[in-house]
Each structure stands twice: as structure tokens, then as C-alpha cells.
Structure 1
Amino acid sequence: MDDTAKYLIHASIAADGVVERSDVVGAVFGQTEGLLGDELDLRDLQQSSKVGRIDVQIDSENGQSFGRITIASSLDKVETAILAASLETIDRVGPCQASVEVTNIEDVREAKRRKVIDRAKELLAGSFDESVMDSSKILEEVRESVRIDDITEYRGLPAGPRVADADAVIVVEGRADVLTLLQYGVKNAVAVEGTNVPDTVADLTEERTVTAFLDGDRGGELILRELAQVGDVDYVVFAPEGQSVEDLERHEVMSALRDKTPYGELFDDEEPAPAVDGNDDTVESVPTAAASAATASTLETARSETEGTDGETDDAGATANADETADPDVDDDPPDSNGTVRDDPSTLRGHVRAVIESETGSARLLDDTFEIIETVPAADAFDAVSGTDPVPYAVVLDGELTQRLLDVAAQRGVEQFVARSSDEMVKTPVDVRVRTVDQLAAAD
């Protein structure tokens, strides 16, 4: 990127065929030439250093190409916007039909302003004499400095200094949580740094007494679910709903840790009162009295999702496959009296019948009440999942589910995916329930 650039134009490109970077660059120059007159001709702007090089990243899969275009601009806002809009007139790359969409125009100067502000804060903090502090402030500042400096790493993960040798450890989500606990004198915390629990933490849980201290949001639920799958959890603590561990005051942290709940007792005292709704793919139950009021709903959701993924229950050691038990996708959409399959069913199973069993060659995106958001050809499923608003709750695909399509579904927050078949997956995201039509039929 040119150091004099003021803006970065970001655009996405999709082509119905296999194209190379050079094809995209040629299309940008060729199809915008003469469009905006001599003053905004792209070649002339590059020669005068008012526009930087055209950076293209392109990937091809299943006979289609997808990528990103980035162009640095030193023009003013109006000229940059016009130049960006001209990119969307490109409708062909090489021999292939194509489309370009400008996703963002980034102000490079904003990053420089942020750097100036951060540096100014450093200078303000370190280059001026502060007024005389009283003894209590001096002591508190020194203590806090020591605690923050104590943060270290345990096999590459942010951790307190006692993790390596303590009999008990506290598993938190991120580095900021470790720092917060250090400030309050808790030195045996280790961070998983994301929803994918590292092998390091999984191995650690087998050797130590483990307390999971997690944020009161969906991310905390997902971490608990995966941690319970790959390791051993002894106790669980959630921050109040909607709050993070790093947001808590000292007395809140200490109170939460004192009142931690044994993992095995979270669900033992529940009243078995499942309620099945044909328009909902979740099973609701009464939260355990052992969970605190602030975290009961969060813990219940985590348990429901864990059992749905593992296919196991803890009652009397019984084990059962989740797909062989009562499926919440109630089949309340039978074919009409003349045998015709309804095209507007109200259940997931009904949509599977209408899309896959009817061999439509399409993909159907559904909301959380199983109303149709959009129906597209199966070949366009990736674009539909990645760009549809609102985010689909479920996707039914009359085709093969690929790793790339599953990844974008997980990134967008799709919760259910049913396909005719599935490619061999390197990794299946834990927050998407994936089934083929044969697996769904086997559950009947």
C-alpha cells in the first residue's frame, strides 16, 4: 500500500468459471476504461500515483471463482466513491460471467489517527510530572503493577504464574480475563483464547481440579460445551448474563468463585419436563435449582447443546444417540391427499421433503420458525448463506455439503444444516448441527 493513500477500496468478486488474478486485473482496466472520462481514467490515475496497485486475491472451487479486490486511493472522498462505484459495472472476467460488489471504503487516515492518539496517551502518562499521590494510591499502583507484570504463558497460552504448579486451575476465555483475575490476586487462571479449546487446556483438565469461569453469553456456552467434550470440568461459574469476566468487580469475582457449582450437579436436580414445539428445534426444560438465577438460562442452553452434540446423558449411566430419541422436528407436514408434497411446510423435516426428496437441485434458507427466507439454486448456496440478511437459522441443500460451505455457515451463525450428502470434513464446527437426509431418515 502506498504510504500516501488516504482510502482503501474493498470489493468482492464472483465469477461463474475458473479465472486467474491477471484476468481480474485486465477486466478492471478494460471495462472501466473511458467510463469516467480522462480525469478519472484508472491507468492515468495509476501513472500519476493517485491510485495504487490493484491487489487481487482469487480462489476457485467447483468450477466457480471467488475473491477480493483492494485498491489504494489518494483521491478525495467523492472521486474515490465514484471510482469504487465504477468497479460494480464489471460483468465479465475473461470468458466468464462475473459480478463485483464494493463492500467497504476504509479511511487509512483513521488508523493513523488512532496511532497518534495512543502515542499521545503514552506521552501524557510518562512525560509529565504527576501531582503528589497519597500513600494509599502509591501502594495500590505498585500492587497493580506487580500483578499485571505477573502474567506469563503456559505452553503458549496467557496464564497466571501459578498455573504450572497449582493443583487447581481456572479456565477463562481470553487474556483480559487472566489480567482481571491477576489484579484481584488470583494467579492460577489460563485462557483458551477462542471457542476452540486447545489440546494444552484439554490435557491440563485431566491432571488438575478445573473451574470454568466464563462470560455470560453464547461464547461462554460454546466454550463450556467443547471443554466438556475434550476434557474434564469439575466446577462451573458464569458471569451474569450479558457480562464478561473482565467486567466484574473484585467482590463479584470472589463471590462467584466461592459459589461455584459442581459440573455434575448442574442438571441432576432438574425436573424432567421437556416441551416440544413443532416450529422450534430446541427442547426446553426446567433449570436446576443448583444454578444461580443470573446464569440458569445460560447453563441450561449449554447443557442442551452439549447433549445434542454428544448424544449422551448422565442419568444412571445410560447412553443413547440423540438422533434416535424424540426429534423436535415434528413431522406435521404430510403430503396432500393426492400425494403432492407441500412447498411451504412449517417444519424442518417438511422442507427436507420439499427440497431434497423432491430433487429440486436447490438450497432453501429458513428462519427460526421455519419460514422461507430465500430459495436459490444449489450452486449458489455459498453466496446465499454468506450474504443473506437476516442470518438463516437453518439451511436445506439438495446437494453436497462442502467444508467451505459449512465454514461460512458457522461464521454467520447458522444453527442447522441438512444436505443430500456431505463431503469429508477436516473439522466440523461445534455450533452447527449437521445431518444428511439419510441420517435424518434413520432417526424416524
Structure 2
Amino acid sequence: MKYLIKAKVEVEGLVNRHDIIGAIFGQTENLFGEEFDLRELQERGRIGRVQLEVRHQGTKTYGEITVPSNLDRVETALVAAMLELVEKVGPYKARVHVYDIIDVRAEKIKKIVERAKEILRIWSLEKTPDLREVLREISESVKRGEVISYGPEKLPAGPDVDKSDEIIIVEGRADVINLLRYGYRNVIALEGARGKIPDTIIKLAKTKKAIAFVDGDHGGDLILWELLRTADIDYVARAPPGKEVEELTGKEIVRALRNLVPAREYLAILERKLKGKPEKPVEAKPEEREAKQPEAVAEKPAPPQPQQPSAPAAAPKAEPVVQVEVERVELPANVVEEIKKLSGTLEAILYDREWRPLEKVPVRDIYNVLEKIEPGKVYAIVYDGIVTQRMLDLASEKQVKLLIANRLGSIERRPPGVSVLTFSDVAS
């Protein structure tokens, strides 16, 4: 990471670490759109895990927050300002104050420069060195000094491969050096592998989130073909067509890592490409659709069905049908229209079992609103946001049966009793 955001938090009550972190993510969610949502930035490796140390004194809680950032200076400053937006943790008032942003690279360069001065003093006692050679060596040390040999195959890698929960797999040593130059320390190379993928890569991919980042040429296609079929890769990133990872600028690397493609989807595309078949949108397999949304299935308009006692009256036009636990519920036409209007508004609508709207709120306030509502009152929530693990857990606690959102985020577990649809499911 390039920067470390340092902040202090003070809460007017006794809370734990989980409560404070939940407040940070909840009260900053979607303030500047999905691309700058803290969870999205974390999933893409643009910020690290929020580190928090807490202590209790009397009836108050004090904490020290550290947020690693791989964003640029302006974006890092914006994340820091977002932290100070947190005003409550649970029912208690809270204050967050950012007191420092450390430039990690500057600190490293400072140490290197100090060491270089010491080396020059030692050399001057023996002989007059070639200054240009010294400067060249110092410059190269910044780029190469952090490359390590990892695993029995001695693969070129960054120093944080073991520490990080996520790894970036590239082709060769030059790719590792270039990513280190821009602050990506969790990178490891195949070292130009053709054919057999190193066992070290296969083992790492089983335990960590793995991103394959290869050149934008046919050679990159061939490496991906073998890598995706051999190792448990999660996402694929490509250099622009005709370019190699080792020559990309910082902005090009950021753009490539923002446009990640799920590995299974890319493998299907790659199969068509290498076999000479035209690419077409990948249709998810039934078991993959079930893995993404095991409790909610959107169906094409069907012939009229006998009405369930709790379902609204059928509209003249057949509307999407949803399987909610053991119920079969037809979405009313007015609800479908509201879903179409919500996209891009960052708003949420809460419905009761009769599909009567209970409340319309900004997405950033949805957690606070839902926490105050008694269990069983809200039947469905439609919102222009992301289905997160926190949202699923809170919906389960409040006995919400159906979430309809813009898209799915990173979900580790599915609580029973809550079904999920996306806007695209309803539109289909």
C-alpha cells in the first residue's frame, strides 16, 4: 500500500471493534457511487483491511483506526474525509478525527537515501566512486529491492504475498517489478510458465483470493487457458490489447484491476476465442445461478397461476414471479415500474406483505432505518445499492423475506429466510 490513514475515534458509550467498523462501512456506503464504496475498494485491493485498536475508559470507548490505501493522493484524502462522517456507533454519539496520512513510499525512500549517504561516506574513505553508478544503483534498488524468491520454485514475488488475503498473479519478474513500483506488494509471477503451472501458485490460489493479470496478447491467452483450468482463480485482469503488464503506467494498472472479470465467465469466453468461435454473453449454469442466488429465482412471464392468499391481484400484463421460501409471489406491475425508476437514484423503498410502500429513504440511511423497525413489519426492500453481507444479516434479523437490489456484493454466507434478486433479474 502507498498510504496509511491514521484516525482517532471516540464513542459516548461502551461498544466493541465490530460495532465501530460496521458504522464506518454503513454510514459511508454509496456516498460517491458504487465504484468508490469502501467495500468495493477493499474487494479490488485499492484499500486494505480497516485496522482498529479499542480501549474502554469509564463509560466511553476510544480507538485508533488505520486504513491502508493504494489509491492516489486525492482519492486517499477523500476516503479520509469519509471516515470523519461517522457520527454514531449504535445508539451512541461518535467522533472520528483523521490526524495523519503517512506516505509509505516516502518513508521507504527516506530510509534508502539515508543508507545511500552512509554508503557514500564509507566508499569515500577508500576511493572516489562513480556518482552516476551510485545514483543508478539507488534508483534500481527502489524498483528491485523488494522482489523476493518465493516457494521451492523461487518465483519472483512481492514481500506481502504471505501477509495479504489477496494475490495478483503475473507472468514474469519484470511484471512484478512494475507492480511494485506502483505499490502492489502482493504480486507473484509464474516466471513465463508454459504448460505446467507451479505448485506454489496452485496452493496459494486455494487459500487466497487470486487475480490473474496477464499481457494483452495471444501469449496471455495461452497462459490464462492453462492457469484457469489448473488453479482456483477468482478474477481475470488483462493489459490493453498489444501491451505487456511490465510496461503499463499506474493509471493503466488501476483501470485493468477495476475491470475484473469473474474467472469462470472468462474461461468460457476464452474457450470460444481459442476454438475460433465468436464470443457471446456467457449464460450462467443452473448450479452457478443457484450459488449466487439460492433462495430467489426470477422466471420469465408464465401463464396465469392461481393466486396465493397473500399475493396482490394479477396485473393485465404477466409480471416476474419470485419463489420466496415456500411462497410463489408475483411482483405487482407498480413495483416493477418503481424498480426501473430506482436505478441511478441511490434510494430504497420498504414494502409490507401487501406490497404497500412503508417508507422511501436514501440508501446511505437504510441500515439506521431498518435497525429501528420491529421484526416482521417489512416484507421486501427494493434499493439502488449492493447486497452486502451486513445487509443480509440485518434483513434476516428483521424477518425481511426479499431483497431486490442493483447488484450482489461479496457474500460469505446466506442466512436462511432471505431471498435475493437483482434489477437485471426483474428486467429479464
Larger relative contact order (C-alpha < 8 A, sep ≥ 6)? 2
Above 0.5 in TM-score? no
Name the TM-score class by shorter chain. 0.3 to 0.5
Which structure has the larger Rg? 1
TM-score (norm 1): 0.31
